[in-house]
Amino acid sequence: MFSQEFMRNALLAGTFIALACGVSGWFVVLRGQVFAGDALSHVAFPGALAAAAAGVDERVGLFGATIAVGAGIGLLGQRSFAGGRGTVGAAPAGDAAIGAVFTFVLGLGVFFLTLFSTSSGGGSGIQAAHTLFGSIFGLGSGEARLAAVIGLAAVLATLVIARPLLFASISPDVAGARGVPTRLLGLGFVMLLGVVAAEATEAVGALLLLGLLAAPAAAAHRLAGNPYAGIALGGLLAVVAMWAGLALGYAVPGLPPSTAIVTIAVGIYYASTLVA
């Protein structure tokens, strides 16, 4: 299995993307921002299309769109997400704003798609969109290395702000009173999430991003009471799901690796609800 180059690339990129998703996912779940992460992965697509229509490198549009929308969500959600881990019924009111913003951006994407497919002649826009978002088994070694570097950088950035972000997420009022810049932290975190979303969406697809962001972290929240143990466990479970899914996808013909990875990740979460 390891003699195949595509498999080594998939493992390299997959491990670090999974780690980034698991670690930042712990905070995403804590702050109730899974929807925001999902929305960011959706705007990656119109961003790349807009760049393609404008003739710019697609990465510019990809990262530009996710970071800009991340900033927008961060600003819109200042008050509503601040509560984070509320009781039932303390759902953030910002989710309507997130839905409205990303739907509009997707509407723009439809517009760019038409523009793109009419200006470039024969090539169907949908086809272009598919090639923009490769599968995890289709990564080149350069792409895989870049994904690994960005994943590692995102993990480190999350760990650097982990302590104040934890304080700001659990008790925003007290943190604010103690001089923690809660707004800036919240904004910075969603923009960081935008970087993770852009990289993961481009390298492995939006599906894996969502699966690895939500399920392993939710399991970690159930299993570990200590925040740092939870963050570590979230990263670990995501990497385990990634490795097991890749192996399964390699072994079973016809089974897409992303399906296997997501199924294992959700299976881990389900098992955690039975245990704890």
Token pair belonging to 75? 């600003």
Task: Pick the closer one to other proteins by CB: 29 or 52.
Answer: 29
* Residue-wise burial string across 79-97, b where 16 or more C-beta atoms lie within 10 A, e elsewhere: ebbbbbeeeeeeebebbeb
Instruction: Pick the piece of the chain touching other proteins (CB under 8 A) from 14-22, 104-112, 137-145, 193-201.
Output: 104-112
Q: Judged by CB under 8 A, which of 60, 108, 161, 240 binds other proteins? A: 108
Is 176 a binding residue for other proteins by CB under 8 A? The answer is no
Q: Measure the CA–CA gap between 10 and 203, rounded to whole angstroms.
A: 9
Is 72 a binding residue for other proteins by CB under 8 A? The answer is no
Sketch the per residue contact string, 34 through 63, with other proteins: x for CB under 8 A, - otherwise. Answer: xx-xx---x---------------------
Is 75 a binding residue for other proteins by CB under 8 A? The answer is no
Q: Measure the CA–CA gap between 215 and 14, rounded to whole angstroms.
A: 16
Is 84 a binding residue for other proteins by CB under 8 A? The answer is yes
Token pair belonging to 160? 């650097």
Full 3-state SS string of 152-175: HHHHHHHHHHHHHHHHHHHCHHHH
Binding site for other proteins (CB under 8 A): 29-35, 37-38, 42, 84-93, 95-100, 103-104, 106-111, 113-114, 118, 126, 173, 206-208, 210-211, 213-215, 217-218, 221-222, 254-256, 258-259, 261-263, 265-266, 269
